[in-house]
Amino acid sequence: CLAYHIFTTGNHHKFLKVSRGRLLRFFSALEDSYSADNPFHNGTHAADVLQTVYYFLNVPSLGSVFGQLEVVAALLAATIHDVDHPGLTNQFLINSRSDLALVYNDASVLENHHLYVAFLLMRKKGLDVLEGLEEEERQAMRQHLIQIVIATDMASHFSLFAEFKTTTEESARHKGTPFPDAWENRALLLKMIVHSADISNPAKPIEVSKVWHARVTEEFFLQGDKERQAGLSVSPLMDRHTVNPAKSQLGFIDFV
């Protein structure tokens, strides 16, 4: 289990004050909660995002920016960010009037659901990996997890990017960086790191990128099939009869 390896070699389980056994049980249960039937949004995707977040957090220029709680929050958010994903988009769930869209009032439907499933899993006996934290730390960890996972909603991509750009430009004007000094700016950077990792497949080596593109394209096409069968409008990029996969990938790279 990649998550277990990263958390134990980094001694993050000691910060959490949990045993290796509990950590392994939690990550095993979490992996089981990802659908292996999804071509893209499955446990392998979660592991890929986790590995990429781990890489970003170990970039030398970020080495002294974050405290251990923030590092653990980013890594943990990566593991839970798509748990119990149905292989469908938020817009599909809203358009089809699904129960999840009703529960979350059409707002970041999947992201709220991933958080709910993860926190519910932690309530099971022997699986609460936050149990050893002091109450103040636990609340801070929960808030970080909520903010980071909600920020993976592609609907907030451009607003998140604009906020990050404004913050970094303001920092450059003052010849410094605000990230080590302000909690809200470090929180913004954590959101950017996990969100960037989540959509980083086009930046991976070409042979790796091609595999992920094929997976996400097939998942999109499966949704398009469901939309056609349900009498709904087929979403952009999801009609297997008209979409050119290569052009759609180039469009994603150029636009996003």
Q: Does residue 111 contact residue 82 with C-beta atoms inside 8 Å?
A: no
Rg over alpha carbons for the chain, rounded to the nearest Å, is 19
Q: Does residue 83 contact residue 30 with C-beta atoms inside 8 Å?
A: yes
For residues 234 and 224, give the distance between their C-alpha atoms in angstroms, rounded to a whole number: 5
Q: Does residue 120 contact residue 127 with C-beta atoms inside 8 Å?
A: no
Catalytic residue among 5, 12, 13, 41: 41
Q: Is 41 a catalytic residue?
A: yes
Q: Does residue 196 contact residue 53 with C-beta atoms inside 8 Å?
A: no
Angle formed by the axes of helices 2-9 and 20-32, nearest 10°: 150
Q: Compute CA distances 86 → 41, 96, 114, 136, 146, whole Å.
A: 8, 13, 10, 33, 20
Residues belonging to the active site: 41
